[in-house]
Amino acid sequence: MRTSLRRMLVPVVAASLMFTAACGGDDAPKADEKITLTIAGFGDFGFKPLYEEYKQTHKNIEIQERISDYAAHHQSLISHLATGSGAADIEAIEIGYLSSFTATPNRFYNLLDLGAKDLESSYLPWKWQQGLSTDKKTLVGLGTDVGGMAMCYRTDLFAQAKLPTARDEVSKLWPTWDEYVATGKKYKAALPNSFFMEASGNMYRAIVEQAPQGLYDDQDKLVVESNPTVKKAWDLTVDAIQSGLSNKLNAWSPEWTAAFGKGTFATIVCPAWMTSYIETNAKDASGKWDIAAVPGGAGSMGGSHLSLPKQGKHSKEAFELIKWLTAPDQQKKVFKATGNFPSTPSLYTDPDLTGFSKAFFNNAPIGKIFTASAQAVKPQHQGPKQGDVFSTIGAGLGRIEEGKQQPADAWTQVLADVKKLA
């Protein structure tokens, strides 16, 4: 599912997660007893139509969905687990927070014990691994989508800047992120009152998450200061900021939402789920948006899992629901409706998916584009405070964008703040 570097501002309270959570249990329902399952998430997972379909064959099941802001949702889950009450039967967890929860698997039902052992071959191997606990003995969550990356861009703005507009030619403009920034400088020179990208955070996160090693090494040691890729990504992103390429928008803010319709920026790093936000918020721009390759060629940003906190009293019924929601047929339906790209590779040769296109994006073959991106992903180890570290770096970039701090001072503060998270 979706997220953004600048949006990930709520710290994971690691100390809170050390308390012992109260455990729920299955109260065996009577044959005709109605069972209400609650499912908590953030944004639009595309599940609402599926609930009605599921209930047609599960007459005793009622489903209540509660949706909140991305950060608020995860903070609430942290709090509910710490206090031992308040969690939903089913909780969605985004990849930026997932490693914080897989480190405390005792708070969740082990999906392997509920029947998930037979499902492993259905998922991308790296997606399955993300849902496992640190000791690999507990499966905390079943994967929903993956955030295979592309680059969405405005063809009308590119034309005004005298840049190519055909997606294949646009892809050739930026095989690397250095060339992406160089293209942005040409764009800015041609259209000084427009911006090349919406903000710096997504660019930074995309560069780091494409690398073989990101914020952590395989032993969960923070390598922000020692990994040259992290600093190189920072320097290039700062170059983009100082060159005036960023619209300085805070993701999910009213200003960010409105900017899609106003056409104030020309490109945005575009995981599959982002297409839904663009289409929803730029209704009058149909045909003006298109999709090209992302610099670096591949990568994954975002994606979620569905988990079952032990506070839930109907784990068997909850598991059956998430098993069905994440099955290939349902993942394909969700992709067509919301853009969330499937994590089940059996669909990657399905012509119904690979041949899917959208008129809004100038008939871009989005099924083919995001299939190729997902297949090319080289998984990167995600550390226990991945989301917090990205938030800290994003805050530093934000201070530069807002003119509150010089780059060198911002980097020094970022390193100091990151050390506090270790």
Instruction: Check residue 27 and give its pLDDT.
Output: 55
Is 5-147+301-376's fold the same as 149-299+380-421's?
yes
pLDDT of 324-364, one tens digit each?
A: 999 999 999 999 999 999 999 999 999 999 999 999 999 99
Which one, of 129, 59, 126, 132, lies nearest residue 102 by Cα?
Answer: 132
Averaged confidence pLDDT in the chain = 91
Considering the domain 5-147+301-376 in this protein, what is its CATH number? 3.40.190.10
Domain spans in the chain, listed from the N-terminal domain onward:
5-147+301-376, 149-299+380-421
How many Å apart are CA 204 and CA 200, to the nearest integer?
6
Average pLDDT over residues 109-126: 96
Q: What is the pTM of this model?
A: 0.88
How many Å apart are CA 300 and CA 374, to the nearest integer?
7
pLDDT over 80 at 12, yes or no = no
The CATH number of 149-299+380-421, from 3.40.190.10, 2.70.160.11, 3.40.50.12500, 3.40.50.2300, is 3.40.190.10
Instruction: Check residue 14 and give its pLDDT.
Output: 32
pLDDT of 353-365, one tens digit each?
A: 999 999 999 999 9
Average pLDDT over residues 152-169: 98
pLDDT over 50 at 15, yes or no = no
Helix axes 254-262, 274-281, angle to 10 degrees: 70
How many Å apart are CA 52 and CA 359, to the nearest integer?
28
Average pLDDT over residues 110-123: 97
Instruction: Check residue 30 and give its pLDDT.
Output: 61
Confidence class for position 250, pLDDT limits 50, 70, 90: confident
Confidence class for position 384, pLDDT limits 50, 70, 90: confident
pLDDT over 60 at 2, yes or no = no
Tokens of 364: 């871009």
pLDDT of 275-309, one tens digit each?
A: 999 999 999 999 999 999 999 988 889 899 999 99
DSSP sequence for 294-339: PTTS--EEEEEEEE-BTT-S-HHHHHHHHHHHTSHHHHHHHHHHH-
pLDDT of 212-236, one tens digit each?
A: 999 999 889 999 999 999 999 999 9
Instruction: Check residue 201 and give its pLDDT.
Output: 92
How many Å apart are CA 97 and CA 80, to the nearest integer?
15
Q: Where are the alpha helices (DSSP H) in 111-263?
A: 125-130, 155-160, 167-173, 177-190, 201-210, 228-242, 254-262
Which one, of 390, 385, 380, 307, lies nearest residue 99 by Cα?
Answer: 385
Instruction: Check residue 43 and give its pLDDT.
Output: 85
Look up tokens 């295979």; give the residue. Answer: 148
